[in-house]
Amino acid sequence: MNQLTKKNILFSILFTAILTPMIFFVMGLPMILQIKGFDASLIGIFQLAGLPMIFKFLMSPPIDKIVFEKKHYKKWTFYIGILYILLLTIISFLSLENSIYPVFIAILITAFISTFMDIPLNALAIKTFTKEQSLSAGSYKISAYSMASLLGGGIFLLVFNHLGWNLTFILMALLVLFSLVALYFIEENDEIIYLERISSKNIITFFKQKDIGIWIFILSFYFVSISALWVFMKPYLIHKGVKPDDVAIWVGIYGSFIAILGGALSNYIGKKFSKKNLLIIFMFFNIFSTSLLIFIEQYNLTFYYLIISVTFIALAIALSSAIIFSMIMDYSRKESRAIDYSVQSSIFSFTRIISAVIAGIIVSNFGFDKMFIFELFCLVLVTFVIYKKYI
């Protein structure tokens, strides 16, 4: 095994372990809350577990100020990892039925620690991979996110269905614990990587770019409707009487594989059309996927039609996220790429979280069918604005 492959595997293990509980919080808990009979508005509120990601770019100062003479980032990653494990273990002993709000607070704190842990681990990766290896090194994050989606959105839901809340979180804590062993095999020199600092000037100049207004609109609203549908897909299927194991397999595992294929498909299609055409083509696919879901709900069609809907929504998620993240890179200026990327990612994450909260409120008060129709209306409106305003 060559050194590059070894480093890719080691970082894949670490990032997968860190991401898996976060994916479980965002994509697994909605199904569990639906099974337990909690209100849909609460399912939306639990999406606030993603809030720490919005403020990630503000979390680096402690890591830069408290400096270890040897293996600085490895030690930071290890110590935060131990705290992460402790919090997951604490959550395992809380009762979802009897202490829902303490569980929510514990999950929010754990999400903050998970996000915080990502900072020294990313800095360690920057130190470990050379510039020549950077393109190849990107593969570890892609593979890690895909594996974490399979684990957090599928496998650990099956674990919950059969072994319960306590063992699910204990096993996730053990996953993080065993992943920390990978740090031992990663070599780190004593250089400190000072990540780019964010400032009000950087933010203001970002918003002064040419045609930035329509891009902020697209960044804020292009993905939110299809994302809200995906968040509520598991609760919806539980509501329709689909068995929890089938939901975990078809949405969590099968849906993740479809999303991976969608990523490859977006790369192929992306070479043939302009960005504006891609935005509109993918949005029409979103509209079709949502319309299909509404049709299936209105006519109360069978389980197999629901799986067809899962397939289309998963593909829509992959296509939409691919074009948005591609354009985020386009709007990240060369002289302040990291800051611009962070600002845009924060806007993207914030609107996605808020859209899930709103969707939960609609489901709680008016039902799933009305939420689907609302999201379809939003998709059509966003498509119209892009067609008219985006050059």
Q: Domain end: 146, 177, 195, which one? A: 195
What pLDDT sits at residue 201?
75
46: containing domain: 1-195
Query: Looking at the structure, do residues 116 and 221 belong to the same domain, yes or no?
Result: no
Q: Max alpha carbon distance in the chain (Å)?
A: 66
Dig out the tokens for 179 from the structure.
């992943």
Burial class (CB in 10 A: 0-12, 13-18, 19+), 77: buried
Q: Domain end: 140, 161, 195, which one? A: 195
pLDDT grade for 125, boundaries at 50, 70 and 90: confident
Please tell me the pTM assigned to this model: 0.87
Query: Looking at the structure, do residues 31 and 146 belong to the same domain, yes or no?
Result: yes
More confident residue, 66 or 277: 277
Q: Which of 128, 227, 222 is nearest to 183 (CA)?
A: 128
Query: Looking at the structure, do residues 13 and 156 belong to the same domain, yes or no?
Result: yes
Most confident range, picked from 123-132, 165-174, 325-334, 340-349: 165-174
Residue-level length of the chain = 391
Q: Which of 187, 138, 185, 173 is nearest to 10 (CA)?
A: 185
Task: Name the domain count of the chain.
Answer: 2
Angle at 267 between CA 127 and CA 7, to 5 degrees: 25
Query: Looking at the structure, do residues 101 and 10 belong to the same domain, yes or no?
Result: yes
Query: Looking at the structure, do residues 107 and 44 belong to the same domain, yes or no?
Result: yes
More confident residue, 268 or 65: 268
Burial class (CB in 10 A: 0-12, 13-18, 19+), 12: buried
**Per-residue pLDDT tens over the stretch 225-266:** 999 999 999 999 999 999 999 999 999 999 988 988 887 788
Instruction: Check if the beta carbon of residue 310 is closer than 8 Å to that of residue 251.
Output: yes
**Per-residue pLDDT tens over the stretch 147-162:** 898 999 999 999 999 9
Q: Which of 84, 74, 360, 79 is nearest to 232 (CA)?
A: 360
Q: Domain end: 167, 195, 223, which one? A: 195
Query: Looking at the structure, do residues 182 and 246 belong to the same domain, yes or no?
Result: no
Query: Looking at the structure, do residues 263 and 302 belong to the same domain, yes or no?
Result: yes
Using the CB atoms, write b or e for 256-274: b if 16+ within 10 Å.
bebbbebbeebeebbeeee
**Per-residue pLDDT tens over the stretch 3-22:** 777 888 898 899 999 999 99
Query: Looking at the structure, do residues 330 and 271 belong to the same domain, yes or no?
Result: yes
Query: Looking at the structure, do residues 298 and 167 belong to the same domain, yes or no?
Result: no
Q: Domain holding 351: CATH number?
A: 1.20.1250.20
Using the CB atoms, write b or e for 135-153: b if 16+ within 10 Å.
eebeebbebbbbbbbbbbb
Contacts within 8 Å (CB) and 24+ apart, 160-167: 160/28, 160/32, 161/244, 161/245, 161/248, 165/92, 165/95, 165/96, 166/92, 166/93, 167/92
d(CA 140, CA 71): 22
d(CA 24, CA 228): 16
Instruction: Check if the beta carbon of residue 333 is closer than 8 Å to that of residue 206.
Output: yes
Backbone angles phi, psi at 38, to 5 degrees: -75, 155
The single-letter DSSP state of residue 212 is H
Query: Looking at the structure, do residues 243 and 190 belong to the same domain, yes or no?
Result: no
Instruction: Check if the beta carbon of residue 112 is closer than 8 Å to that of residue 52.
Output: yes
Query: Looking at the structure, do residues 175 and 210 belong to the same domain, yes or no?
Result: no
Query: Looking at the structure, do residues 387 and 274 belong to the same domain, yes or no?
Result: yes
